[in-house]
């Protein structure tokens, strides 16, 4: 396999403004109030730790509430560090606030594709393709990519590119909207002659068969389906999770499974092996980036803090990663090293009685509530 991980630390950028709901707005103003500086921070995985599908699990709402003071001010800097995604961070923050009952800032949401922002300079004005559930093209547009199309839309410009489309009972969002106002939605650039300069797998693909077909077309032709073989354009994955815990009782196939499927097919039909770059946990750069974001979060919450000589860059003594997937969350935290401390829950992918054999966590607990309880007790005793 020639796919490789990246080790870059992204600089956080301003995100789209969040439309505050009344309750959220009140809590936001309370976040600005005076509070004590935290010497520790927490990164929560989402699927299988705080949510299963859209249902809170493991006592997550009450666990998160303990990280805020009585006034509603954030006491402990924390972020959500997930390999999932498909919608902009600002929208995910609103969704999490609604489901978990605490106000989440967009800057507290780090998704698998958040690191794609580091590639903006390179592809800002180039034709790029984005695929995955949700709104992958909107995600990339909000990061600043100006010439990005969803794979749904891109494929629709190539007649018969999907030879089994007539047997499919569903239509894509793009196909439905195209029927209502085609002229307004056709891009100003020439799809059928412009070469795709990069393809992004933003979230779990919905139509694997079609996506594998079209990506093979793009990647083997040098960026123009139907053309002769050419040099493969870069391919980026937001994450590489083989499985993840969703609403169904057993794990579901994730982006890593799609990558294996695409790679297997591509390597059989093309002379050169598939080349791709993989972002997301467990790459150490994700944890370095998370540390930087937690530091910024602590600084921004410290506007009214009475300075004791420390500045915003003062290092954390401990950063806790709470996850359910040993191969992703625990492996990543262990690789990142100090100050990361890994906590494995039994509410998701991991269900073992003892610790994981290959990637043992620093602590194994039943639920996220138990994890937060442990952290707060340990930190208050320091
Ligand atoms: Mg998980």
Handedness of CA 146, 147, 148, 153 (dihedral sign): positive
Q: How far is the CA of 349 from the centre of ligand 1 (A)?
A: 7
- Contact (Cβ atoms closer than 8 angstroms) between residue 141 and residue 148: yes
- pLDDT per residue over 216-235, tens digit each? 999 999 999 999 888 999 99
pLDDT at res. 11:
37
Per-residue pLDDT, averaged over 141-160, amounts to 95
Pairing of strands 243-244, 252-253: antiparallel
Q: How far is the CA of 47 from the centre of ligand 1 (A)?
A: 4
pLDDT at res. 12:
36
Q: How far is the CA of 114 from the centre of ligand 1 (A)?
A: 17
Question: How would residue 15 be classed by pLDDT, with cut points 50, 70 and 90?
Answer: very low
Q: How far is the CA of 82 from the centre of ligand 1 (A)?
A: 7
Local structure of residue 47 (DSSP, 8 states): B
pLDDT at res. 307:
42
Question: How would residue 177 be classed by pLDDT, with cut points 50, 70 and 90?
Answer: low
- Asked whether residue 182 carries a pLDDT value surpassing 50, the answer given is no
- What's the pTM value of the predicted model, to 2 decimals? 0.85
- pLDDT per residue over 244-300, tens digit each? 988 899 999 999 999 999 999 999 999 999 999 999 999 999 999 999 999 999 886
Q: How far is the CA of 249 from the centre of ligand 1 (A)?
A: 14
Question: How would residue 301 be classed by pLDDT, with cut points 50, 70 and 90?
Answer: low
- Asked whether residue 86 carries a pLDDT value surpassing 90, the answer given is yes
Q: How far is the CA of 136 from the centre of ligand 1 (A)?
A: 20
Whole-angstrom Cα distance, residue 162 to residue 54?
32
Q: How far is the CA of 140 from the centre of ligand 1 (A)?
A: 23
Using a pLDDT cut of 70, give the percent of the chain over it.
83
Question: How would residue 190 be classed by pLDDT, with cut points 50, 70 and 90?
Answer: confident
The interaxial angle of helices 255-269 and 208-220, nearest 10 deg, is: 50
- At the top level of CATH, the class of 114-278 is alpha beta
- pLDDT per residue over 334-367, tens digit each? 999 999 999 999 999 999 999 999 999 999 999 9
- In the chain, ranges of CATH 3.40.50.1000 domains: 114-278
Q: How far is the CA of 244 from the centre of ligand 1 (A)?
A: 6
pLDDT at res. 119:
97
- pLDDT per residue over 23-34, tens digit each? 443 444 444 444
Whole-angstrom Cα distance, residue 177 to residue 62?
41
pLDDT at res. 280:
96
- Asked whether residue 172 carries a pLDDT value surpassing 90, the answer given is no
**β-pair partners for 74:** 68
Supply φ then ψ for residue 29, to 5 degrees. -65, -30
Q: How far is the CA of 347 from the centre of ligand 1 (A)?
A: 9
Q: How far is the CA of 232 from the centre of ligand 1 (A)?
A: 32
Q: How far is the CA of 370 from the centre of ligand 1 (A)?
A: 17
Q: How far is the CA of 93 from the centre of ligand 1 (A)?
A: 17
Q: How far is the CA of 323 from the centre of ligand 1 (A)?
A: 6
Q: How far is the CA of 63 from the centre of ligand 1 (A)?
A: 17
Q: How far is the CA of 360 from the centre of ligand 1 (A)?
A: 16
């Amino acid at each position: 396999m020639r796919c490789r991980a990246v080790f870059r630390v992204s600089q956080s950028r301003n995100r789209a403004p969040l439309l505050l709901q009344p309750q959220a707005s009140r809590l936001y103003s309370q976040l600005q109030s005076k509070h004590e500086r935290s010497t520790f921070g927490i990164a929560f995985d989402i699927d299988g730790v705080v949510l299963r599908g859209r249902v809170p699990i493991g006592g997550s709402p009450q666990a998160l509430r303990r990280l805020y003071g009585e006034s509603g001010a954030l006491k402990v800097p924390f972020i959500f560090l997930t390999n999932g995604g498909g919608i902009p961070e600002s929208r995910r923050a609103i969704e999490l606030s609604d489901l978990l009952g605490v106000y989440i800032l967009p800057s507290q949401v780090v998704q698998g594709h958040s690191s794609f922002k580091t590639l903006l300079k390179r592809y800002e004005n180039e034709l790029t393709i984005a695929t995955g559930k949700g709104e992958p093209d909107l995600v990339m547009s909000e990061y600043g990519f100006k010439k990005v199309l969803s794979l749904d839309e891109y494929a629709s410009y190539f007649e018969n590119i999907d030879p089994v489309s007539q047997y499919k009972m569903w239509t894509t969002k793009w196909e439905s909207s195209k029927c209502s106002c085609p002229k307004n939605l056709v891009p100003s650039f020439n799809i059928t002659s412009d070469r795709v300069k990069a393809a992004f797998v933003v979230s779990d693909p919905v139509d694997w068969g079609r996506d594998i077909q079209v990506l093979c077309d793009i990647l083997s032709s040098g960026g123009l389906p139907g053309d002769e073989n050419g040099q493969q354009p870069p391919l980026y994955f937001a994450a590489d999770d083989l499985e993840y815990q969703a609403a169904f009782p057993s794990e579901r196939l994730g982006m890593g499974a799609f990558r294996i499927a695409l790679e297997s097919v591509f390597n059989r039909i093309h002379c050169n092996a598939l080349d791709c770059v993989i972002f997301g946990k467990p790459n150490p750069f994700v944890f370095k980036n998370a540390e930087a974001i937690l530091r910024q979060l602590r600084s921004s919450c410290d506007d009214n803090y009475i300075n004791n000589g420390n500045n915003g860059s003062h290092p954390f003594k401990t950063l806790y990663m709470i996850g359910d997937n040993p191969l992703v969350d625990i492996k990543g935290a262990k690789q990142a090293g100090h100050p990361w401390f890994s906590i494995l829950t039994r509410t998701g992918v991991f269900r073992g009685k003892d610790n994981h054999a290959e990637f043992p966590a620093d602590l194994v607990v039943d639920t996220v509530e138990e994890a937060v309880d442990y952290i707060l007790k340990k930190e208050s005793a320091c």
